[in-house]
């Protein structure tokens, strides 16, 4: 038995002849290793758990794609769970993954997660935990995030450079780091250009098409409406575009637009939409890389680590004020 095991797992202390014989017979008998048994014995599986709020749109599918590719290269299989933007569900997902004896867990928080106790158990068990995109605040977490603040900054600065002077912002839920930071970047840019922080111009809403339309409608009713909108999401920006078109307000001449996520449709609308790319695939890969580092460093005094990816602004017609 031992010999067989050694032959199959490329162990030292085994004669090359014996090894060949074993391998040959294994193939002939159609031997199938049982990872479960190995995991049980070793106390370490080759399963990697992933929890995402949902699997739709461009972002999460792409990140998952990146995760799966990188994990698979390192010999790990990926277990996917959806929290459906619900903490209770998220808690259950974590429980499930722990029971499945995963080697590590990658999480992007649900929007209803305000309490983080369910992650204590993961840490206590010494299982590598990496957040991506939507993360817990604090230094004692491992996380891969986008520099959302810089994304908001770049985008807004670009609008300012185009000559816009009254820039509105569609802001998402402020308890989520990503939306908070995008808003902060927006404010940074305004300040750099000496413009006031005007809460009247900030619309707090969900980043959906409908709420984008509603938000734009509200902004147009202002005594002094904006000449640009920076949205923390693309769908809401699309809503704004559609409303503006309905009212025959020209984009970008009357109102310039810039969004966030670089969704596929931004290159299809007329005009095409300027947007910040989130490096989805890279984020997935980086998360796996960080996980692998944590596995390597097991037991040693590996301190927590944040990986920050640099966003890239894709400038398209919706923000180019050629005719202004």
Partner DNA sequence: TTGTAAGCGTTATCAC
Partner DNA sequence: GTGATAACGCTTACAA
Instruction: Catalog residues that contact its own copies under the rule CB under 8 A.
Output: 30, 32-37, 39-40, 45, 47, 54-56, 60-62, 64-65, 68-69, 72, 77-82, 96-101, 121, 125, 238, 264-265, 268-270
Question: Quick check: 2 binds DNA (CB under 7 A)?
Answer: yes
Q: How many residues line the site for DNA (CB under 7 A)?
A: 25
- How would you classify the pairing of strands 47-52 and 104-107? parallel
- Which partner in its own copies, DNA, none is near 30 (CB below 5 to 8 A by kind)? its own copies
- Which partner in DNA, its own copies, none is near 314 (CB below 5 to 8 A by kind)? none
* Cβ distance to its own copies smaller for residue 270 or 312: 270
Instruction: Count Cβ atoms within 10 A of the Cβ of residue 119 and give its class: 0-12 exposed, 13-18 middle, 19 or more buried.
Output: buried
Terminal Cα-to-Cα distance of the chain (whole angstroms):
80
- Tell me which stretch binds DNA (CB under 7 A): 9-17, 169-177, 196-204, 235-243: 9-17
- CA dist 300 and 47 (Å) reads 22
- Which partner in its own copies, DNA, none is near 96 (CB below 5 to 8 A by kind)? its own copies
Per the document, the length of the chain is 324
Q: b/e string for 41-78 if b means 16 or more Cβ within 10 A?
A: eeeebebbbbbbbeeeebbbebbbebbbebbeeeebeb
- CA dist 196 and 233 (Å) reads 23
Paired tokens of 86: 């619900």
Question: Quick check: 3 binds DNA (CB under 7 A)?
Answer: yes
* Cβ distance to its own copies smaller for residue 226 or 233: 233
Residue in 25, 40, 55, 297 binding DNA, rule: CB under 7 A = 40
Instruction: Find where tokens 């919706």 sit.
Output: 318
* Cβ distance to DNA smaller for residue 37 or 114: 37
Tell me which residues touch DNA (CB under 7 A): 1-6, 8-9, 12-15, 17-19, 31-34, 37-38, 40-43
């Amino acid at each position: 038995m031992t010999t067989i095991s050694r032959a199959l797992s490329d162990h030292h202390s085994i004669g090359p002849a014996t090894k060949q014989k074993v391998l040959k017979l294994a193939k002939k008998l159609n031997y199938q290793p049982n990872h479960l048994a190995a995991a049980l014995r070793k106390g370490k599986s080759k399963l990697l758990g992933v929890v995402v709020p949902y699997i739709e749109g461009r972002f999460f599918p792409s990140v998952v794609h990146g995760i799966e590719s990188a994990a698979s290269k390192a010999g790990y299989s990926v277990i996917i769970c959806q929290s459906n933007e619900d903490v209770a569900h998220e808690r259950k997902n974590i429980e499930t993954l722990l029971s499945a004896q995963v080697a590590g867990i990658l999480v992007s928080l649900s929007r209803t997660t305000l309490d983080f106790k369910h992650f204590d158990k993961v840490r206590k068990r010494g299982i590598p935990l990496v957040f991506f995109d939507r993360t817990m605040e604090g230094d004692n977490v491992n996380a891969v995030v986008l520099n959302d603040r810089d994304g908001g900054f770049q985008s807004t600065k670009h609008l300012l450079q185009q000559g816009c002077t009254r820039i509105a912002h569609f802001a998402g839920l402020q308890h989520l780091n990503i939306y908070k930071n995008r808003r902060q970047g927006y404010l940074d840019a305004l300040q750099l250009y000496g413009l006031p922080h005007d809460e009247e111009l900030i619309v707090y809403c969900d980043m959906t098409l409908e709420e984008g339309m509603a938000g734009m409608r509200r902004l147009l009713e202002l005594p002094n409406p904006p000449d640009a909108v920076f949205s923390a999401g693309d769908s809401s920006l699309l809503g704004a575009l559609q409303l503006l078109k309905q009212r025959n307000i020209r984009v970008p001449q009357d109102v310039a637009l810039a969004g966030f996520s670089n969704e596929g449709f931004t290159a299809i609308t007329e005009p095409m939409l300027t947007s910040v790319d989130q490096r989805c695939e890279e984020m997935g890969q980086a998360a796996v890389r960080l996980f692998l580092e944590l596995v390597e460093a097991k037991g040693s005094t590996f301190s927590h680590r944040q990986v920050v990816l640099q966003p890239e602004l894709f400038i398209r017609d919706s923000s180019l004020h050629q005719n202004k």
